[in-house]
Amino acid sequence: MATVHALTDALRPGRRGPAPGLALSYADEIKLLRSPRRTPWRWLLVVGGLLLFLWLPTYLGDPGLRVLALCGIFALGAIGLNLLTGYTGQISLGHAFFVGVGAYTAAYFGSDHGWPMPAYLALAALLGFVVGGVIGPFALRLRGNYLVVVTLGLVFLGEHLWNNWDSVTGGGNGTSLGAAPMTVGPLDFKQGLELGSEHYTFEQSFFWLVWALVIVGALLAKNLVRSRAGRAMQAIRDRDLSAEVIGVSPARYKVGAFAWSSAYAALAGALYGLLQQYVSPGEFGLFLAITYVAMIIIGGLGTIFGAIVGALFVWGGRSLIEQNSGQALFDPLITSRSGEAGIFTIGELNAVLFGLAIVLFLLFEPRGLAAFWFRIKTWFLTWPFSY
Amino acid sequence: MLRRHRRLRLLAAFTAVGLLATACGGGRDDDDSASDEGSGENGGAPAEVPGFDGETISLGVITPTSGRVAVIGEPLTNGNRAYWDYVNEELGGVAGQYPVELVIEDSAYDAPTAVQKYNDMKDSVVMFNQLLGTPIVNALLEQLTADNIVAQPASLDSFWVREQNLVPIGAPYQIQAINGIDWWVNEGGGSADSTICILRQDDPYGEAGLEGVQFALDELGIDLASEATFPVGNPDFTAQISQLQGAGCEMVWLTATPTDTGGALGKAAELGYTPQWLGQSPTWIGAFVESPLLPYLQEHYYWVSEGPEYGDTSASGMSELMRIQEQYAPDQEPDIYFNFGYLESQAVHQVLERAVEMGDLSHEGIIEALNSIEEFDFGGVFGNYGWGAPEDRNPPRANSIFEVDPNKPIGLGLLVEEHEAPFAADYEF
Amino acid sequence: MTLPLPAPPLLATITGDDLLQTGFSGLAVGCKYALIALGFSVVFKATGVINFAQASLVLLGAYLTFNFSQTWELNFYVGLLLAMAGGALLGVVIEALVLRRLVGEAPATVIMVTIGLLFVLDNVVTAVWGPDNHNLGDPWGIQTREVLGVTVADRDLWTIGFTALAVLGFFVFFRYSTLGLAMRAAAFDSEVAMAQGIPARRVYRVAWAIAGMVAALAGATLAAGASQLSPATGALALVAFPAIILGGLDSPLGAVVGGVIIGLVQQFTALLAPEYFDWVGESFERVSPYLVMILILLIRPYGLFGTKEVRRV
C-alpha cells in the first residue's frame, strides 16, 4: 500500500509538500486560477478547453456545429437562469419570455432597422435587464411555487404580446432576421470569417461567436458569484429571512438576480434569432421554459459549469436521441402507422426516450451532472481513501 | 450497496461522455461537396449531386409524427409514401430509371428542431417533398432561399404562391372563402341582403379566411356583419356563439380545425343557433360521422374544398388514387390529408421528371425545371395549377362544395362541383 | 408579411341573456378546471410536489373511458368508473416507482421528474391509441334543457355535478375518515406524523390514487359531447395552474373556487373584450386568468385559501 501510494504520488499534485492546494488567504481562496504548479489539472482543463474551442469548428461538419452553437445559446441562457434559481433560489419558469424579448429586439432593431450587431446585441441584453428588473419586484412578494406559476403566466403574456403587437413582431407569422447585419469591425459572421487566406462558413464563425460569448458570460457570472453580491444571493437562497435579519437587502438582490438573468436570456434570444434567421411567437412558449429549467436541474443547480454541461446534455442529448433513434436497435418499436408493426412513431419514441432519460438521470443523480462530476473528482483525489 | 450505486453512477458518467463523443461524428468533409457540374447537356443522364447518387433520388420530408398535429402529419406522410411506392414499383422510378427514396424526419412541430433536421438533411436530398406547418415553413423559408433548395409546403396558405423555392398546390384558403361565399349568396340559399359573418382562429390561418371573405363581400357589396375569433383549443364557445347569434348571422364562414369545429358547432347546436355554416377544408374530419353532432351537421354545414367526391371515378386521377391507396396503404382509411400527401408527391414527381429530362438534378437544376413547367395536372382531383416563373403562377380558382352524408366515404357527398366565382380570378397573390 | 386586415365591424350589443348564459358556461368550464386543479391540489397537499404529469393523467383518463365504453362496449358509467380505477392505479404506480425515491430532494428536481413523466405518458397514450380524433360516446351528447331561462347542456350539468360530488367526497374524506385525517397530519408535518405512527408511504400513495381518479373524471368531462377526444385534450390542464395558485396550493376547496373563478373570468373576457377592449388584442381570454391570479396574489400571496407559511428565522 505504501509503495503504491509513493508511486502514484506524482499523480496527486495537490498533495505534494505541506498541502500546496490549501488556500492560506482570502484572496487566494477566491482566485479562479492559482498558479499552474498548485492546480495543474485545472490549468490543463482551461488550456485544453480553449484549444478545443478554437479547433473544433475546423473538425466538425456544419450540422454538428449548428447543434453545438444552439447548445451554446442555451448554455448562455442557462447560466442566467442558474444565477436566478441556483444561486438566489427563485424558481422561474418565465425565462422563455426574456429569450423572446431578446430575439424580437434583434429582429426589430437589427433586421428592420439595420443597426450594427454590437449595438443590437447590447440593446437586447439591456432590454432584458430592464424588463427583468421590472418583473423582479413580484418575487419580493411571492415565494416558491407561487412564484413558479406567476412566471409561467409571464410566458403566456409574452406569447399574447408577440402574437398581437404586429408592427414590431410581425404577429402570428413571425419575423425574419435575414437582413440583420452580423459584422463586428472587419469580421463578418454571416458570410463567414476570412482570416488570412482561410474562409470559414457561417456555422463555424457563429460557433466561435456564441462560445466566445458563453465564455465571457460564464466569467462574468463566476465573478458575480464569488463576490459579495454572490454571497448575498446565496444567503437569500438558503434562508432568506435570516439573511434579511443580518442586513442583506432582499429587494436589491432578488430584483438584481432577475435583472441579470433576464439580460443573459435576452442575449441568448438575440443569438438564437440570428442562428435561426426567423422567429415566431410559438417558439417562446412553455416548452422552451421547461427546457431551460431541465438544463439547470440536470446540470446541477448552483454551479456555473453545471449550467453549461446541462445545456450540452439536454439539447445535445436530445439531438443525439433524434439522430440515433432510427437505428436498428429501435426498429421493432417504430411504426409508420400505415400497416407496419410497432408501437411508436419516431417522434413519439424521441419524446419518450427524452422523458425517460430525464427521469432516470434524476433518479440516479438528483443533484445533477455537476454533483456527479464532483463525486468523481473527489473519488480520484481521495484515492485510495475514496470510500 | 454503496459500491453498486457508485458503479451505476460511473456508468452514467461514461455514458454521458460517450454521448458527447459520438455527437462529434465524422470529420469535416471539406466543402464544395456540392460539385456543381450537374448542368449536363439536355437529355444526358443527370450528374451526381447532393441527394442523387446516380441511381436513387432522395427526397426530404419534415413532418410532426407526435403531438397534436400528428393527426395531419401521419396521413400526409402515408400519402407521400404510397405514391412513391407506386412510382418505384410500377413505373420503375422517375423517368423509369431512378427510384425515389423518402428521408423522413420528425419535426415535433417545433421550429428549432425542424431547422436542425433541415440542416442535417439539406446536403443529402434533391428537394423536400413535404414540410408541414406554417411556422415551420416560415422558419425554413430563409434557409431554403439561401441554399436554393425547393420544398413543397403542405398547407394552402397564400404566402407560398410567389415564393421561388416553394411548390404549393391547391386553391389557397382565400379562394375557398371567395368561392364559398359567392356560391351561397347566388345559389346556395343566400341573397344580397343576407347577414354574413365569420368565426375564425386567431392566427394567420384564420386571417387568411378573413381576407377571402372580405374580398368576396366587397365584390358582392355586402358588409361583414360580425367577426368572432377564438384561440385554438378553446374550451367553451358560448361567447363566440352568443356574439354571432346577437348579430343575427344567417351564414357563418368557419376557419378552424376539427376539434374547434366540434366545440363551436356543438355549442351552437346546444344553444339552438342554426345558421348555415360553410367550413374551409381543414375544418372537417371523418370522426364527425359518429359524433352526436351528425344530425346538426347534416342540416347546417357545408364543406368547401376541391375536386370530385371521393370515389367518383369519372376523374382519372381519383380512380388511380383509390387504386394506389388500396394497394400500397391498405390500412389507411379515406382521408383528405392522405389525398393531399399523394397529390403533393405527384407535383414533385412532375418536377423531377422535368429535371431529369433537362439532365440536371442539382438544386439549381430543380429550380429551372420548376420554372419551366407550364401547368401541374392532377387528373381532376385538385384543380390544375398554372405554373411558370413565380410571378406567373396562377393557383386553381374553383372549389367544390360538399354536404355531410354519413354513407359516403369520409362522410362527405358532393353538392356542387368546381364552382368559380366570377371575381375569383381577380384576387391577387 | 403582415397583410392589411379589414376593420372589425360594429358588434351587436350584449344582452342580459348573454350575460346569464356566459355565467353558466363560465361555471361549467370552471368546474372542468376545478376537477383538474383538485388533482394537483391533493398531491401537493400530501407531498408538497406540483405534479406536472397531472395533464397526462387527465389525458389517460379520457382515453381509458373511451376504451372501456366504446372499444369494449361497456356501459358508459361503468367505463368511467373503470377509468377512474385505472387512473388511481397509474397514480399509485408512479408514486411507488418514481416519486418515492425522490423524497427529500429539492422541489425543482421533483418537478423536473414529473415533467419527464409528462413527456413519456403523453406519447405512450398517443402511441397506444393513435393520433386521430375519437368520439367519447357519452350518453349526454349535445342535449340541453332549460333552467331559469338559460339553456343548459346536460354535459355541463353532469360536470358541475361531478365537481360537487368530488368536493363533498373530499370534505367527508378529510374530515371524517382516519386516512383523511392521517393525510392532513402528514401534510402538516410529516416527521411528527410518522412519529405518531402514521404511515407516510400510504398517505402519499392514497394521494396519488385520488389524483388519478379525479383526473379520469376531468378527462371524461373534457372530451364529452361534441368536443372530440384527441391528443390535445390534456392541454387544458395548463390553464388549471392559475386556478390552483389563486385558490391556494394546498387547499382543495381553494382549487375548486379557483377553477370556477378562472372559468368565469375566461368566459366573460371572451364575451366582453372584443366589444369593449379590442385594443388588447385577440384571444385575451388566454391571458386574463393569469392576470387575475397575479392580482389576487398581490393581495393574498398564498392564494385565497392557502395556508400562510410560517417562517422562522
Distance (Å, whole) CA B409 – CA B312: 11
> C303 vs A144: CB contact, 8 Å cut-off?
no
**Integer angstrom CA distances of residue B384 from B1, B308, B378:** 72, 13, 6
B1 pLDDT band, cuts 50/70/90, is very low
Chain B positions in Cβ-Cβ contact with residue C277 (cut-off 8 Å): none
Which pLDDT score, from 0 to 100, does residue A11 have? 65
**Integer angstrom CA distances of residue B302 from A238, A382, B275, B310:** 63, 77, 11, 16
**Integer angstrom CA distances of residue A339 from A233, B63, B77, B333:** 58, 19, 13, 11
- The tens digit of pLDDT for each residue in A66-117 reads 999 999 999 999 999 999 999 988 889 999 999 999 999 999 999 889 899 9
Cell of A163: 402574437
- pLDDT block averages, 10 residues each, chain C of length 313: 44 73 92 93 86 93 92 89 95 90 82 92 90 87 85 90 92 87 80 84 90 94 86 83 88 91 93 84 88 88 82 69
Which pLDDT score, from 0 to 100, does residue A9 have? 61
Chain B positions in Cβ-Cβ contact with residue A163 (cut-off 8 Å): 202-203
Which pLDDT score, from 0 to 100, does residue C19 have? 87
Share of chain B above pLDDT 70, in %: 90
C112 within a domain of the structure (yes/no): yes
**Integer angstrom CA distances of residue B416 from B187, B188, B400, B403, C1:** 10, 10, 6, 9, 34
Residue ranges of domains in chain A, CATH in brackets? 64-382 (1.10.3470)
Point out the residue among A160, A345, A367 whose CB comes nearest to the CB of C281.
A160
B23 pLDDT band, cuts 50/70/90, is very low
With a CB-CB cutoff of 8 Å, which residues 191-210 of chain A face chain B? Answer: 201
> A160 vs C124: CB contact, 8 Å cut-off?
no
**Longest Cα–Cα distance in chain B:** 84
- Domains in chain C, number: 1
Mean pLDDT, range A155-164, rounded to an integer: 92
Q: Mind telling me how many Å the CA of B375 is from chain C's nearest CA?
A: 27
- The tens digit of pLDDT for each residue in A240-295 reads 889 999 999 989 999 999 999 999 999 999 999 999 999 999 899 988 999 999 99
Residue of B nearest to A204 (CA): B28
| Residue A25 C-alpha from the chain's centroid | 32
Whether the pLDDT of residue B42 is over 60: the answer is: no
Q: Please give the sequence-ordered ranges of beta strands (E in DSSP) within B306-411, or none if there are none.
A: 375-376, 385-386, 399-404
Per-residue burial over C155-194, b = 16 or more CB atoms within 10 Å of its CB, e = otherwise: bbbbbbebbeebbeebeebbeeeeebebbbbbbeebeebe
Please tell me which chains touch C, using 3 or more CB pairs under 8 Å as the contact test: A, B
Length of chain A: 387
Whether the pLDDT of residue B66 is over 90: the answer is: no
C246 within a domain of the structure (yes/no): yes
> C294 vs A138: CB contact, 8 Å cut-off?
yes
Chain B touched by A166 (CB under 8 Å):
no
Whether the pLDDT of residue B41 is over 50: the answer is: no
C288 within a domain of the structure (yes/no): yes
Question: Who contacts B46 (Cβ-Cβ below 8 Å, separation ≥6)?
Answer: B38, B40, B52, B355, B356, B359, B360, B361, B365
H or E element: which one contains B228?
A: strand B224-230
Which pLDDT score, from 0 to 100, does residue B34 have? 40
B266: left (phi over 0), alpha (psi -120 to 50) or beta: alpha
C284 within a domain of the structure (yes/no): yes
Bridge-based pairing of strands B385-386 and B375-376 is: antiparallel
| β-sheet bridge partners, residue B301 | B277
Chain A positions in Cβ-Cβ contact with residue C116 (cut-off 8 Å): 354-359, 362
C72 within a domain of the structure (yes/no): yes
Best of C56, C103, C112 to substitute, by most chain A Cβ atoms within 10 angstroms, is C112
Distance linking the first and last C-alpha atoms of chain A: 16
| Residue B112 C-alpha from the chain's centroid | 20
Residue of B nearest to C141 (CA): B292
Which pLDDT score, from 0 to 100, does residue C217 have? 93
- The tens digit of pLDDT for each residue in A231-252 reads 999 999 998 889 999 999 989 9
Of residues B207 and A8, more confidently modeled: B207
Which pLDDT score, from 0 to 100, does residue B36 have? 40
Whether the pLDDT of residue B174 is over 90: the answer is: yes
Best of A88, A91, A348 to substitute, by most chain C Cβ atoms within 10 angstroms, is A348
Which pLDDT score, from 0 to 100, does residue B206 have? 92
Whether the pLDDT of residue B120 is over 70: the answer is: yes
**Integer angstrom CA distances of residue A52 from A56, A60, A76, B243:** 6, 11, 18, 63
Chain B positions in Cβ-Cβ contact with residue C153 (cut-off 8 Å): 270
> C109 vs A91: CB contact, 8 Å cut-off?
no
Whether the pLDDT of residue A324 is over 70: the answer is: yes
With a CB-CB cutoff of 8 Å, which residues 255-294 of chain B face chain C? Answer: 258-259, 262-263, 265-267, 269-272, 285, 287, 290-293
Closest residue by Cα to residue C65 from C114, C21, C125: C125
Which pLDDT score, from 0 to 100, does residue A20 have? 59
C6 within a domain of the structure (yes/no): no
Closest residue by Cα to residue C161 from C39, C30, C29, C31: C31
Chain C positions in Cβ-Cβ contact with residue A81 (cut-off 8 Å): none
Which pLDDT score, from 0 to 100, does residue B428 have? 87
Chain A positions in Cβ-Cβ contact with residue B112 (cut-off 8 Å): 70, 272, 276, 283
Mean pLDDT, range A2-30, rounded to an integer: 66
Distance (Å, whole) CA C226 – CA C89: 29
Mean pLDDT across chain B: 86
B39 pLDDT band, cuts 50/70/90, is very low
Q: Could you list the residue range(s) of the whole structural domain that residue C213 is in? A: 13-299
> C115 vs A290: CB contact, 8 Å cut-off?
yes
Whether the pLDDT of residue B8 is over 80: the answer is: no
Alpha carbons within 13 angstroms on the beta-carbon side of residue B36 total 7
> B71 vs C132: CB contact, 8 Å cut-off?
yes
Chain C positions in Cβ-Cβ contact with residue A347 (cut-off 8 Å): 123
C311 within a domain of the structure (yes/no): no
C154 within a domain of the structure (yes/no): yes
> B81 vs A60: CB contact, 8 Å cut-off?
no
Whether the pLDDT of residue B16 is over 70: the answer is: no
ipTM of predicted complex: 0.87
Share of chain A above pLDDT 90, in %: 46
Cβ-based burial of C115 (10 A; exposed 0-12, middle 13-18, buried ≥19): buried
**Integer angstrom CA distances of residue A193 from A186, A208, C45, C82, C215:** 9, 10, 57, 64, 56
> The domain that contains C212 carries what CATH number?
1.10.3470
